[in-house]
Structure 1
Amino acid sequence: MNYDYQTIKTEKLEKGILLVSLNRPEKYNAMNMTMLNELNDLWLKLKRDLETRVVILKGEGEKGFCAGMEVADIIKPQVMADIPAMYDLQMPIGELQINMRNCPQPIICAVHGAAAGAGFSFAIASDIRVISPDTRFSAAYVNVGLAGADMGSSYFLPRIIGSGRAYEFLYTGAWMNAEEAMQLGFASRCVEKEKLFDTALEIAQAIAKKDPLAMKLTKEAVNLNIDIGSLEAAIVMENRNQNMMISLLANRMKK
């Protein structure tokens, strides 16, 4: 699978682990239209990538993970456009979060420094968040005159930390620091900055050792059951997955 891009770097670290790096460090890894299109392409391609078992997402450079969208490249054209043109611009932005969430491989987000706006949304659409003490998050859309809910934040954030605190962060655009992120269960681990990548890699290695189908089914079940209407429906999904895995294991044992 070819992952050759201008604004993101990819590297196959070891069997089954793909490192994806936002690569505009001179711009605090802010997302421009090129990065938006390349990320959409990446997440869609991963659906057909049978070799990759887990993805690590990080930001290049010392300044931070991602400062959000690049105003001159994305936000200003939206403001200047008419309503149909604005809708056409907004669609791939929303699709990015859907494509990311539908990526069958678990995504580990290693965050240092600021993760604001789009950077915040990349983190909340990931499955696991590992942070450093200098990390801070903000749903900064409301701070630039936009609605506080964008790029899936109104969907993901209440499900991760509860609606009460989610309302506060989305209404105010206030920063969530590393201590709050850990207290709220938003992040899984907080480690020193120099250990951030190694910690993410350690988790990725543990996941990569598991059966890849089992990991995909687990992610699918969690994603669906977040929205499912009853315990009974959740059990049906889990029973289906376990029956598939037991059949697979039985066939392997016969061989």
Structure 2
Amino acid sequence: MITITSHIHSTRIGPLGLIELRRPTSINALTFSMLQELTRVFTTWRNDPAISMVVLRGSGERGFCAGGDIKDFHAAVSGGGHAEFLALLSLEFDLNEMIATYPKPVLTLVHGLCMGGGIGLASHASIRVTTPEASYAMPETRIGYSPDVGGTHLLARAPGHLGEYLALTASTFTGTDAVELGFADMLVDPTRFAELLDSLDDFIAMPAAEIAAGIEVLFGSFAPSPLASARPWIDAAFSAPDLPGILDRLDEMVHPAAAQTAAAIRANAPTSLAGALAAVRAARAEDHLRSALDRELRLADYLMHRPDLAEGIRAQVIDKDRNPRWNPARFDEVDTAAIAGLIEGPA
């Protein structure tokens, strides 16, 4: 049985359920209808005794998934569609949690670009395969937003203070870094993806951990993580108690990457930076995906009603002048009390 709906292709091959994102011209960027169909398929297969494992991958050479459709986001926040877009995010976050708690093994195959919502689909699965050359990012603070789709939960669990570094700088990282950070489990050359899929019949009856171990033995490779080698200076700076302290430490460092890192942070939206830092640290203290998702949804609702999000998308995606005018423009003008209330949540 094959179903093709809203750029989602799902099919069964014996006990294996295969889902493919099929919007390659947009690097499989997610729309509301795609999220609805993904939710429907995962829900149906969860209770189908004929399905023992689910595989999720993206079509096209450019990548697994570029995240949510950023132009749809801009249209929503610019045209009064805040409630509708918040409903989309709620649906997406529930799907992320479903994947994370799925009662059957979920295998994700990441190649090329994997950003934002793509990470939400790929990195909460029980078996996460990526390629060394894959390019991951949680670039939200660059557009006046904050990491979501459980991204703060993932960043909080990364070694040391790499999570704060990635949230505040909006930097990209490689597939090898993704394994180091805990966003993926193993590296596999993309030319072996077809062979890997053909081998899954041998693993169908096994628990997810054993399937992952078997795949890594047969197909896994190793490459050093650039971020792992940078941890000493990153931890030294990003362990500071607050954003001004992090910037002060970077400004005082003689490490060649410190000045560039500080400049990258200062280019991002001050309100988003405050929210992202607080959300990552709250997720580290709590270490519960659902709590992180609920916190991210509160932040999303707050940020999409502020001018920075529409302005950031305009500057980075629409006009591409790369010169956003943040409001407020200074870190000391951010409403930190409002951010703290969102992080803490309802009493």
Q: TM-score range by the shorter chain?
A: 0.7 to 0.9
- Normalised by the length of structure 2, the TM-score is 0.55
1:126 maps to which residue? 125
In structure 1, the partner of 2:293 is: none
Against the structure 1 CA distance between its residues 6 and 84, is the aligned structure 2 distance closer, same or farther, given a 3 Å change threshold? closer
Which residue in the other structure is 2:47 paired with? 48
Which residue in 2 is equivalent to 1:205? 201
**1:183 has 2:180 as partner:** yes
CA distance in 1, matches of 2:77, 2:93: 14
Specify the structure having the higher radius of gyration (Cα): 2
For the 8 Å contact 2:130–2:175, the answer to whether it is kept is yes
Cα displacement string for residues 58-103 of structure 1 (whole angstroms, at most 9, x for unaligned residues):
1001111111111223442144326545533432222221232233
% identity of equivalent residues = 24
Structure 1 residues 166 and 77: CA distance shift in structure 2, 3 A: same
Q: Can you list the C-alpha shifts for 1:24-60, whole angstroms capped at 9, x where unaligned?
A: 0111111112112111222222222211111111100
SS in 2 for 1:208: coil
Identify the match of residue 164 of structure 1 among 137, 142, 161: 161
- Matched residues in 2 for 1:10 and 1:107: separation? 14
Aligned to 1:5: 5
Instruction: Find the aligned partners of 1:91 and 1:50 in 2 and give their Cα distance.
Output: 28
Maintained 8 Å contact 1:33/1:74: no
Secondary structure, aligned partner of 1:31: coil
User: Aligned pair count?
Assistant: 212
Tell me the CA shift for residue 150 of structure 1: 0.6
In 2, the alpha carbon distance for the partners of 1:16 and 1:185 equals 28
Q: Is the 8 A contact 1:113 1:135 kept in 2?
A: yes
Off by >6 Å, runs of 4+ in structure 1: none
**Of 190, 193, 209, which aligns to 1:193?**
190
Shift of 1:200: 5.0
1:231 matched residue in structure 2: none
Query: If the length of structure 1 is used for normalisation, what is the TM-score?
Result: 0.72
The letter of the residue matching 1:59 is: G
The residue matched to 1:150 in structure 2 has which SS?
A: coil
| Contact kept? 1:130, 1:196, Cα under 8 Å | no
Residue 185 of structure 2 aligns with an amino acid whose one-letter code is: S
Give runs of aligned pairs for residues 1-255 of structure 1, distance below 5 A.
3-13=3-13, 15-81=14-80, 84-147=83-146, 149-159=147-157, 161-162=158-159, 164-199=161-196, 201-202=198-199, 204-210=200-206
**Aligned residue type for 2:171:** A
Change (3 A) 1:199 1:170: farther
Matches of 1:150 and 1:90, distance apart in 2:
9
Question: 2: distance between equivalents of 1:163 and 1:94?
Answer: 26
- C-alpha separation in 2, matches of 1:95 and 1:82: 20
RMSD: 2.7
Please give the alpha-carbon distance, in whole angstroms, between the structure 2 residues aligned to 1:6 and 1:86: 18
CA pair 197-79 structure 1, distance change in 2 beyond 3 A = farther
Residue 134 of structure 1 aligns to a residue whose secondary structure is: coil
Are 2:73 and 2:85, in contact at CA under 8 Å, matched by a contact in 1?
A: no
Residues 103 and 10 of structure 1, relative CA distance in 2, 3 Å threshold: same
Aligned residue number for residue 234 of structure 1:
none
Q: Flag structure 1 segments of 5+ consecutive residues without an equivalent.
A: 216-225, 228-255
Q: Deviations over 1:116-137 (max 9, x none)?
A: 1111221111112111222011
| Distance (whole Å) between structure 2 residues aligned to residue 197 and residue 74 of structure 1 | 35
Retained in 1: the 8 A contact 2:10–2:41? no
Any idea what the Cα deviations from partners look like across 1:139-163, whole Å, max 9, x if unmatched? 122222211x21111123433x346
